[in-house]
Every structure is written in structure tokens, then in C-alpha cells.
């Protein structure tokens, strides 16, 4: 196992994303191979990690993944890395409901990885010591091994905190610097491809204000269990799946791509916004921002021809933004746009958050069976016709309507739930594509 450290915060908005990105950038600038990870089901932060480290960032979530899945993902991603940097989620101990599940603390305990706690110290000095003491002693199985102070007002401010906080090393003191913050939108931070931030600037900022050698030393104190044996059999590619990848469809897990390939699929990325239509045996439309590109999607050749392919039986899987695109129409503030019209349903964008959280569904669809775990996060409402058919009964989560999700038509299925390959039947979807190819 390589060196590893988890960067967590006392709460959301404390600066852990900026700190995590900066540490990744600074270590990369030292010519270290840095493997990035993100706690939880986030799609956006990993794009920044990937851009900085030039290695695919991977998600680690103790709700959607068993310990063996997490250990295999960690081992596989870190195989030739010098150090792994894991960005936490929300506050250190915040998990599903009032449990530790899916929290940064739960993952740190499970993997035996030390934690660097980011604390926003604006407006307090000695109280910082009380705050850190609470976090370090709340669960003694979590190793809070270092602290980074954010929003430090002056050298005197930093010294006052250092004099009070003597039990845990302070490995960084960061002054306020609005130039390296990342703006947000309704679904979270902007994607890495939409940013022009200078990684040299953020790397220099961290190098000047953080003891990177101390972080590397802390990262050496891991007690991560050995992962279960990975499957040594990989199917020979004999089917091609088109994956929509552009500014409208950009929410994907790297592990899902790996799982598709493991099951014998080649992936061909294409852009519905640009009207591309690859010659493939199945389609996968992930989440993203179709509402921002509704006009382009309405004009797209992809939109015009997809319905006839669906009627012909080609397997199609969509999630959230993919669901919205595959419906008959999409209503935004400006107007109502025609979409792919595969499902008898209409979607409209709202200003209010409609669903957020982890999900669990009992599935019985064309290529989905059993229990599927995932998450949902959207501001839209999808209204289906009375005769619409659904593949998911929601055990946890809202779904599309009345505790149902996974609307299905022909060999197409789409849901508000974003699924993780740890429980999504990837092999069944690939096999359905294989059957279509052999017709």
C-alpha cells in the first residue's frame, strides 16, 4: 500500500476542497505520482483531482461499496502511485442520517488512514483547541494526525492558536486567498473543464503555507488491510457501448468505465450536444447539465435518431440528466424543448432541490435485477403518463414518482438514481448489448 492521507473538514465550506486540490497540486509539482480519491458519491470534485494529478480520481463510499470493493478500488488506483490523497465529504463525522456510514471518518477507520483536519479559524483563537479536541476524541478509532488552519488573519493569530493547540501537529496555516477558490452552481462546483485556475499558483500557495514533508510523513502511518483478490479474468471485447460525454453529460464514475471494460465492452465516447451518433451496440447517458444545453440537444442529430434505435431494441441506460434527455420534452425557464422522446414522460426544471441523498432500490428490469444502491441529487421534476412502467421500487430515496424509479421502455431504462458498479448489474447490461449485436 502506498502512503495515504485523508483531508477532512469540520464542516462543509471550510475549504477542504481547495486544500485538497492544493496539496495534490503541490505534491505533483514535486514530481510525485499522486493518486486522488473522493469520499462519497460526488462527480465534480474528482474532475478537478484528475486534471491536477493527471490520473483518474476514484470515489470511495462506504454506503454504496463493501469494504472489499473499497480496498480493491484503493489498491487498483494506487498501484504505481507515490502517495494517495483522499478528499473528504461534508464534516468529518457526517454520514447517512445520524450514522457514520458514508462519512469521511467511517472510511478513515475502515482503511486505517490518518486524517488531516481543515479548520476555518476566522473569528476564533484558543477556541480552536477545544474544537479540535472534540473532533480528535469523538471517535478515538479515527486518527486525526494533523491540522491545517484556514483563513488565518495574521502571524499573531496563528501563534495564538499554536500556543493553545499542543496535542496535534499544525501542519499548515493558510491566509485568506480568494483567487484560488472554486465557484459553485446549483449542482455543486463547476467542472474542471470549465475552469481556468492556475495549478502552479495553488501549488505555490500550499508549498508556502503547508509543511508538505509533515503530510508525507503522516501519510506513511497507514494500517490499510490487504484487498481481496481481484478478478483475474477479463472478457475479450466483443461489444461496443457509446457513452455520452460532453458538457451536458459528464457525471460518471471511473469504476463504471472499468467495470464495463471488465465485462467485455469497448467504450466509444461521443457528444450528443455536437450531434454525434456512433455505430454501437448500446448507449449510456450519465448525469450532468442538459438544462444548460437544451437548445443544442433539441437540434442535435443524436436526439432525432435515438428514438428509432430504441424502438429497434438497442439497450439504453440513463441516469438523472440522461433520464431528462430521454424523455419527450424538457421545460426550462426559457421554453419547452423537444428531447429524444423514448419515455412517455415530460421533465421540467425547478428552482427548488427535489431530492438529495443515498438511495436503495429493488430492481426488476430488462437488465437490472436485485438490490441497487446509489444516490440522487436533482432540481427537476419528471411527470410520466399513467401507463408508464418502472423497474425500481425505492426502498430509500424519492425516485421519479410515488416511490418508483427506473422508467423503462423497449430495452431502455433511466432513473434519477445514480448507481455505482458495486451493486449495479453491469454484466447484465453488457450482455443485453451483446444480444442486440448478435441479432
- Please, are residues 41 and 162 in contact by the beta-carbon 8 Å criterion? no
Q: Are 338 and 303 in contact (CB under 8 A)?
A: yes
Residues 207 and 296 in one domain: no
* Buried b or exposed e, range 176-202, using 16+ CB within 10 angstroms: ebeebebeeeebebbbbeeeebebeeb
Domain final position from 191, 219, 247: 219
Structural domains of the chain, count: 2
Asked, for residue 229, whether it belongs to a domain, the answer is: no
Cα separation, 341 vs 275, in Å, equals 16
Angstrom CA distances, 194 to 44, 190, 200, 385, stand at 11, 6, 17, 37
Those residues whose C-beta lies under 8 Å from the C-beta of residue 218, and which sit 6 or more positions away, are 5, 114, 116, 145, 146, 169, 171
CATH number where 259 lies:
3.40.50.880
* 89 and 57 belong to one structural domain: yes
10 and 141 share a domain? yes
Same structural domain, 185 and 53: yes
Residues 185 and 244 in one domain: no
Local confidence pLDDT in tens for the 439 residues of the chain? 679 999 999 999 999 999 999 999 999 999 999 999 999 999 989 999 999 999 999 999 999 999 999 999 999 999 999 999 999 999 999 999 999 999 999 999 999 999 999 999 999 999 999 999 999 999 999 999 999 999 999 999 999 999 999 999 999 999 987 666 554 434 444 555 545 556 888 899 999 999 999 999 999 999 999 888 776 667 789 999 999 999 999 999 999 999 999 999 999 999 999 999 999 999 999 999 999 999 999 999 999 999 999 999 999 999 999 999 999 999 998 899 999 999 999 999 999 999 999 999 999 988 999 999 999 999 999 999 988 999 999 999 999 999 999 999 999 999 999 999 999 999 999 999 999 998 7
Same domain? 12 vs 107: yes
Q: Does 227 fall in a domain?
A: no
Is the same domain home to 194 and 285?
no
Residues 116 and 70 in one domain: yes
- The helix/strand/coil state of 209 is helix
Query: Quick check: is 230 in a domain?
Result: no
Distance CA 194, CA 288 (A): 13
Nearest to 296 by CA among 326, 338, 268: 338
- Count CB neighbours of 264 within 10 A: 17
Residue at 233 is within a domain? no
pLDDT of residue 293: 95
Q: What pLDDT score does 229 carry?
A: 78
- DSSP letter for 290, please: G
Phi, psi of 230 (to 5 degrees): -80, 150
User: How is residue 178 written as a grid cell?
Assistant: 480568494
DSSP 240: E
CA 207 from chain centre, in angstroms, equals 27
Q: Which of 184, 219, 254 is the last residue of a domain?
A: 219
Q: What is the pTM of this model?
A: 0.92
3-state secondary structure 319-377: ECHHHHHHEEEEECCCCEEECCCCEEEEEEECCCCCEEEEEEEEEECCCCEEEEEEEEE
Give domain status of residue 232, yes or no.
no
- Residue 263's domain comprises 239-438
Judgement on whether residues 211 and 271 belong to the same structural domain of the protein: no
Judge whether 126 lies within some domain. Answer: yes
> Has residue 214 been placed in a domain?
yes
| 144 C-beta neighbours (distance < 10 Å), count | 24
Would you say residue 381 lies in a domain? yes
**50: exposed, middle or buried (Cβ count in 10 Å: 0-12, 13-18, 19+):** middle
Considering the domain architecture, whether residues 214 and 244 belong to the same structural domain is answered as: no
Res 231: pLDDT: 65
**Residue 292 and residue 177 share a domain:** no
Residues with Cβ within 8 Å of residue 233, at least 6 apart in sequence: none
Looking at the fold, whether 99 and 210 belong to one and the same domain comes out as yes
- Looking at residue 189, its pLDDT comes to 43
Backbone angles phi and psi of 280, in degrees to 5: -135, 180
CATH number (domain holding residue 113): 3.40.50.300
Set of cell numbers at residue 15: 475549504
Kindly list the catalytic residues: 320
Q: What are the cell numbers at 201?
A: 499558483
Question: Of 188, 219, 250, at which residue does a domain stop?
Answer: 219
Amino acid at each position: 500500500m502506498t502512503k495515504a492521507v485523508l483531508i477532512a473538514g469540520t464542516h462543509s465550506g471550510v475549504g477542504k476542497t481547495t486544500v485538497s486540490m492544493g496539496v495534490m497540486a503541490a505534491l505533483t509539482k514535486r514530481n510525485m505520482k499522486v493518486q486522488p480519491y473522493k469520499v462519497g458519491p460526488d462527480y465534480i470534485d474528482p474532475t478537478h483531482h484528475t486534471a491536477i494529478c493527471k490520473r483518474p480520481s476514484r470515489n470511495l463510499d462506504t454506503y454504496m461499496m463493501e469494504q472489499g470493493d473499497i480496498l480493491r478500488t484503493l489498491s487498483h488506483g494506487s498501484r504505481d502511485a507515490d502517495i494517495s490523497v483522499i478528499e473528504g465529504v461534508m464534516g468529518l463525522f457526517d454520514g447517512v442520517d445520524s450514522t457514520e456510514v458514508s462519512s469521511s471518518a467511517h472510511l478513515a477507520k475502515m482503511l486505517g488512514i490518518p486524517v488531516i483536519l481543515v479548520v476555518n479559524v476566522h473569528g476564533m483563537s484558543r477556541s480552536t483547541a477545544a474544537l479540535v479536541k472534540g473532533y480528535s476524541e469523538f471517535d478515538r478509532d479515527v486518527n486525526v494526525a494533523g491540522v491545517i488552519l484556514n483563513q488565518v488573519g495574521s502571524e499573531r493569530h496563528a501563534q495564538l492558536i499554536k500556543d493553545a493547540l499542543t496535542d496535534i501537529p499544525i501542519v499548515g496555516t493558510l491566509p485568506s486567498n480568494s483567487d484560488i477558490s472554486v465557484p459553485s452552481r446549483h449542482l455543486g462546483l463547476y467542472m474542471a473543464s470549465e475552469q481556468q485556475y492556475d495549478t502552479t499558483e495553488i501549488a505555490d500557495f500550499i508549498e508556502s503555507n503547508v509543511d508538505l514533508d509533515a503530510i508525507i510523513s503522516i501519510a506513511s502511518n497507514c494500517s490499510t488491510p490487504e484487498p481481496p483478490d481481484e478478478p483475474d479474468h477479463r472478457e475479450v471485447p466483443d461489444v461496443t457501448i457509446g457513452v455520452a460525454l460532453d458538457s451536458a453529460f459528464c457525471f460518471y464514475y471511473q469504476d463504471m468505465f472499468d467495470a464495463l471494460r471488465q465485462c467485455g465492452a469497448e467504450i466509444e465516447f461521443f457528444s450528443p450536444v455536437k450531434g454525434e451518433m456512433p455505430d454501437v451496440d448500446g448507449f449510456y447517458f450519465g448525469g450532468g447539465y442538459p438544462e444548460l444545453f437544451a437548445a443544442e440537444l433539441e437540434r442535435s442529430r443524436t436526439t432525432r435518431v435515438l428514438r428509432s434505435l430504441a424502438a429497434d431494441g438497442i439497450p439504453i441506460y440513463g441516469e438523472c440528466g440522461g433520464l431528462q434527455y430521454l424523455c419527450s420534452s424538457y421545460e426550462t425557464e426559457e421554453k419547452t424543448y423537444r428531447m429524444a422522446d423514448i419515455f412517455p414522460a415530460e421533465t421540467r426544471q425547478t428552482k427548488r432541490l427535489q431530492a438529495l441523498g443515498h438511495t436503495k432500490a429493488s430492481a426488476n428490469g430488462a437488465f437490472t435485477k436485485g438490490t441497487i444502491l446509489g444516490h440522487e441529487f436533482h432540481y427537476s421534476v419528471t411527470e410520466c403518463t399513467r401507463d408508464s412502467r418502472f423497474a425500481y421500487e425505492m426502498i430509500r430515496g424519492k425516485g421519479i414518482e410515488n416511490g418508483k424509479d427506473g422508467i423503462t421502455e423497449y430495452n431502455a431504462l433511466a432513473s434519477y438514481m445514480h448507481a455505482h458498479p458495486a451493486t449495479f448489474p453491469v454484466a447484465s447490461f453488457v450482455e443485453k448489448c451483446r444480444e442486440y449485436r448478435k441479432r
